[in-house]
A = this chain, B = another copy of it.
């Protein structure tokens, strides 16, 4: 009922503690035959090294760096706050977290920051990636210098990074389509989409998923040409208000980027009696309020807190050379309505 220790391993393998230690920490100077004897003992005993004790002994510290985009984006600011809070908690597990900010969507700045990191002072990096070749190369270099790298929220497709913690955005778009299609049933017309910019990977993916579902399952609704709000509330408000006024046939709105405040303001300007179903992304102060007062019907959300925790966990297991550096539970697309608000 007690866990086996290195002493047990040594005894079973018929070798000394020193040798077990050499094997466990892959130091050299152990014959292959001896090593495999130790391995066998480890397997047969089901030995798992006590990481708490190991860290205590070697004063191991995990030095992580989170790289987040700067700017007004409310979701990113929440993410930043979550990182700060988890950093405080992580201190208890000998994990030190530093946060860096780069201008949003600026691949060069990101790449430069990555290049400027000191591999002697940092063990792992979690970054909200901007998808560009220059970034990819910088990541490759960083990894070559022994730093673990994972992406957070926004992925960098390809083999450079060692993991991604975030939601599946196509799936998110499909879910939005599925909800909005059902909400609008019985009121045939047009559905408007508001995106940040189609240059952003996650926005493009959401749009894709949304259109897939709407076209195949709710063909009675037409999809209006998408608005580009550039994640700016004023622009979103103006464009959407104009479109709603111009087209009385719009029965649903899907906003797949930032700028929830703008959406809410545009809706507030509608004449009473006009019913428009609305689905947006990310639970923020504004989308929350809009759910409560009934102007939004549903909010799709990614749990940034859990994403941060997942990134920390993933980096730590990568640094520990743990067997399964996969997330226990993937980050899912969460649906919020007025009554299941957290």
Using Cβ atoms and an 8 Å threshold, which residues of chain B touch A342?
329-330, 332
A222 to B1, CA, bound (A): 59
Q: Does A231 contact B (CB under 8 A)?
A: no
How far, in whole Å, are A1 and B38 apart by their CA atoms in the complex? 38
Q: Note all chain B residues with C-beta closer than 8 A to A336.
A: 335
Q: A56-B53, A185-B186 known; A340 and B332 CB under 8 Å?
A: yes
Q: A174 in the interface, Cβ–Cβ < 8 Å?
A: yes
A21 touches B (CB below 8 Å): no
- 26 pairs of residues in contact across A and B, judged by CB atoms under 8 Å: A1-B96, A48-B92, A50-B92, A51-B92, A52-B52, A52-B55, A174-B339, A174-B340, A175-B337, A175-B340, A177-B339, A178-B339, A182-B277, A185-B185, A186-B187, A209-B339, A305-B328, A305-B329, A332-B340, A332-B342, A333-B339, A334-B335, A334-B340, A335-B335, A335-B336, A335-B337
Contacts of A340 in B (CB 8 A): 171-172, 174-175, 332-335
Q: Are A337 and B187 in contact (CB under 8 A)?
A: no
Instruction: Please report the C-alpha to C-alpha distance between residue A305 and residue B328 in the assembled complex, in whole angstroms.
Output: 10
A31 at the interface (CB under 8 A from B): no
Closest Cβ–Cβ distance, residue A12 to chain B (whole Å):
20
Q: How many residues of A contact B (CB 8 A)?
A: 42
With both beta carbons as reference points, the residue of chain B lying nearest to A185 in the complex is identified as: B186
In angstroms, Cα B185 to Cα A338, docked, is 17
Residues from chain B with Cβ under 8 Å of A51 in the complex: 92
The residue of chain B having its C-beta at the shortest distance from the C-beta of A51 within the complex is: B92
Asked whether A218 is an interface residue with its Cβ less than 8 Å from the other chain, the reply is no
A297 at the interface (CB under 8 A from B): yes
Contacts of A329 in B (CB 8 A): 305, 342
A residues near B (Cβ < 8 Å) are: 1, 3, 48, 50-53, 55-56, 91-92, 96, 171-172, 174-175, 177-179, 182-183, 185-187, 209, 213, 277, 297, 305, 328-330, 332-340, 342
Name the residue of chain B whose CB is nearest to the CB of A52: B52
Please report the C-alpha to C-alpha distance between residue A48 and residue B88 in the assembled complex, in whole angstroms.
12
Inter-chain contacts of A174 with B (CB < 8 A): 338-340
Assembled-state Cα–Cα distance A338/B338 (Å): 21
Q: Chain B's nearest CB lies how many Å from the CB of A76?
A: 20
CB distance from A89 to the nearest CB of B (A): 9
CA distance A125 to B120 in the complex (A): 46
Distance of A342 Cα from B297 Cα, bound (Å): 22
Tell me the smallest distance from the CB of A213 to a CB of chain B, in Å: 7
